C-alpha cells in the first residue's frame, strides 16, 4: 500500500510541484518532458472522456489503472490539477487530493504573500507539510505492495 | 489528526474547510483580512518601487512607516470597540496584560505566550505562532521578507496603546518563524 508520486499542474500546464516517495522505475526521459507528457495525456483523456461519455458527465475523468498502479486525478474549479499515482489497493484518493488542495495548497501557498504573486512552490513549509501528510496516510507504507 | 480532517463529502468542501480550521465564525472573515493585508503590503512596495529599479533602505523604511501608520489608525479604532465593556485599568502593567490576553485574542486569534518587562517602561511580548507569519514558513525561509508583514501589526499595537493613554514605540523582531517578539517602549512625556 503506497503512494508513488504526486504532480501539481497549474491551469496553463506548467508543473508547479512534483515529488516522489516510492518510484522504482523512471520514465527514461527528462523531467520537463515527463511533465509535458503527463499534462498532454491528461488534457487528451479529459476531452476524450467528455466526448465519448454515453451519459451526461458529472466530474469527468477520475482515475485510470494498470496492472501495477492507479493514477488519480483531481481538478479544482480554479484549474489546478492534482495527479497522484498509487498502488492498486487505493481505490479512491479524491478526498486526499482535495485535502491537499484545501488544507495545504490554499493555506500555505495561496495565503503565503511571498509565494502567491508568482505561483512558485518554493515554500519549504509546504513541502515538509505535504511530505508529512503523505507519510501519515493510512495507505502509505515505505515499501510498495 | 489528518485522518479526521480529510473525511469529507466532496461536495461539502467549503464547510469542511471551516471545520478543519476550527473557525466557526465563518472562514471568510479571517481569509478576507489576510488576503487584503497581503495586497496592501504588495501594493505599497510596488508603488514605492515604481520608476526605480532597486529599492534602497530608505524606500523600505518609507514602506514600513506607511504600513505602520495604517496599523496605528486601525489599532486606535479597534481598542475603542474592544474596551467598551471593560473596567478602567489600574496601571501600565494591567494595560499590557490586557493587550497580551484579550486584545491579542481578538486581533491575532491567540494570546501572547510570554510577556517580559524591566518595570521601567519596556515590555517584550513573545508570540510563538504569530498569525501573520504561520503561512510564510516555519524556520528560516523567507526571513528577510518577514518585517514587511509585521509593520502593520506593530502599528495596530501602537494605536491601541495610544488610545489607552500610552504613547509608545513598537518594533518587531523575528529569528525563527512563526515565532515573533514585539518590543514596546513606553514614551514618558
Domain borders along chain B are: 31-186
Of B95, B74, B164, B172, which Cα lies nearest the Cα of B131? B172
Q: What is the number of other CB atoms lying within 10 angstroms of the CB of residue B43?
A: 10
Residue B185 confidence (pLDDT) above 80: yes
Q: What is the CATH number of domain B31-186?
A: 3.30.1380.20
Question: Over pLDDT 90: what percentage of chain B?
Answer: 41
B38 CB neighbours in chain A (<8 A) are: 111, 113, 116
Tell me the domain boundaries of chain A.
Answer: 3-136
**pLDDT of B19 above 90:** no
* Chain B residue numbers touching A116 (CB-CB < 8 A): 38
Kindly state the cell numbers that stand for B7.
473525511
| Nearest neighbour of B136 by CB, restricted to A112, A117, A136 | A112
A16 touches chain B (CB under 8 A): no
Closest CB to B149 among A108, A113, A124: A113
Please write the tens of the pLDDT for every residue from A80-92.
999 999 989 888 8
The pLDDT value recorded for residue B149 is 92
pLDDT bucket at B115, cuts 50 / 70 / 90 = very high
- Grid coordinates belonging to A47: 476531452
Q: If you average pLDDT over each of A31-45, A55-69, B46-60, which comes out highest?
A: A31-45
The whole-number average pLDDT for the span B86-91 is 81
Query: Which residue spans within A1-145 are E strands per DSSP?
Result: 3-9, 15-20, 63-65, 69-75, 81-87
- Quick check: B2 contacting A, CB < 8 Å? yes
In A65-124, the residues whose Cβ lies within 8 Å of chain B are 94-96, 98-99, 102-103, 106-108, 111-114, 116-117, 122-124
Q: Distance (Å) from the C-alpha of residue B36 to the closest C-alpha of chain A?
A: 10
**pLDDT (0 to 100) of residue A85:** 93
Cross-sheet strand order for the sheet of A3-9:
A15-20, A3-9, A81-87, A69-75, A63-65
Q: Mean pLDDT across chain A, nearest whole number?
A: 88
Q: Which chain A residues touch B149 with a CB distance below 8 Å? A: 113
Interface pTM, i.e. ipTM: 0.71
Q: Confirm or reject CATH 1.20.210.10 for domain A3-136, answering yes or no.
A: no
Give me the mean pLDDT over the A11-35 stretch: 90
- Evaluate if residue A74 carries a pLDDT over 90: yes
pLDDT digits (tens, 9 = 90+) for A109-127: 888 888 766 666 778 888 9
pTM over 0.95: no
Question: Which pLDDT score is estimated for A139?
Answer: 81
Q: What is the pLDDT of residue B100?
A: 92
Chain segment B36-73, per-residue pLDDT in tens: 999 999 999 888 887 677 778 888 889 999 999 999 99
Between chains, do B136 and A116 touch, taking CB under 8 Å as contact? no
Helix (H) or strand (E) holding A126: helix A124-136
Query: Looking at chain A, which residue has its C-alpha nearest residue B143?
Result: A114
Please give the residue of chain A at the shortest CA–CA distance from B149: A113
Residue B17 has pLDDT above 90, yes or no: no
Q: What is the mean pLDDT of residues A7-31?
A: 90
Amino acid at each position: 500500500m503506497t503512494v508513488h508520486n504526486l504532480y501539481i499542474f497549474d491551469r496553463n500546464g506548467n508543473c508547479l510541484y512534483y515529488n516522489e516517495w516510492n518510484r522504482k522505475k523512471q520514465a527514461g526521459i527528462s523531467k520537463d518532458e515527463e511533465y509535458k507528457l503527463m499534462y498532454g495525456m491528461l488534457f487528451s483523456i479529459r476531452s476524450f472522456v467528455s466526448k465519448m461519455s454515453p451519459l451526461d458527465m458529472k466530474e469527468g475523468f477520475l482515475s485510470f489503472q494498470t496492472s501495477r498502479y492507479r493514477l488519480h486525478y483531481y481538478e479544482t474549479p480554479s484549474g489546478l490539477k492534482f495527479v497522484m499515482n498509487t498502488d492498486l489497493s487505493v481505490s479512491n484518493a479524491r478526498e486526499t487530493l482535495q485535502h491537499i488542495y484545501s488544507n495545504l495548497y490554499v493555506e500555505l501557498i495561496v495565503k503565503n504573500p511571498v509565494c502567491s504573486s508568482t505561483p512558485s512552490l518554493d515554500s519549504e513549509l509546504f513541502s515538509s507539510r505535504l511530505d508529512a501528510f503523505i507519510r501519515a496516510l493510512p495507505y502509505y507504507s515505505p515499501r510498495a505492495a | 489528526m489528518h485522518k479526521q480532517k480529510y473525511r469529507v463529502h466532496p461536495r461539502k468542501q467549503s464547510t469542511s474547510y471551516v471545520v478543519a480550521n476550527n473557525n466557526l465564525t465563518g472562514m471568510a472573515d479571517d481569509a478576507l483580512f489576510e488576503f487584503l493585508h497581503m495586497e496592501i503590503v504588495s501594493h505599497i512596495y510596488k508603488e514605492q518601487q515604481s520608476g526605480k529599479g532597486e529599492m534602497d533602505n530608505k524606500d523600505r523604511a518609507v514602506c514600513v512607516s506607511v504600513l505602520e501608520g495604517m496599523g496605528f489608525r486601525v489599532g486606535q479604532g479597534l481598542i475603542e470597540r474592544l474596551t467598551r465593556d471593560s473596567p478602567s485599568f489600574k496601571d501600565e502593567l494591567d494595560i499590557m496584560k490586557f493587550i497580551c490576553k484579550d486584545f491579542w485574542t481578538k486581533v491575532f486569534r491567540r494570546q501572547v505566550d510570554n510577556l517580559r518587562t524591566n518595570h521601567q517602561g519596556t515590555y517584550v511580548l513573545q508570540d510563538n505562532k504569530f498569525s501573520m507569519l504561520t503561512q510564510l514558513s516555519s524556520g528560516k525561509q523567507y526571513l528577510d521578507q518577514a518585517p514587511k508583514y509585521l509593520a502593520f501589526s506593530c502599528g495596530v499595537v501602537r494605536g491601541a496603546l495610544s488610545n489607552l493613554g500610552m504613547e509608545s514605540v513598537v518594533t518587531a523582531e523575528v529569528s525563527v518563524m512563526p515565532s515573533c517578539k514585539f518590543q514596546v517602549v513606553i514614551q514618558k512625556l
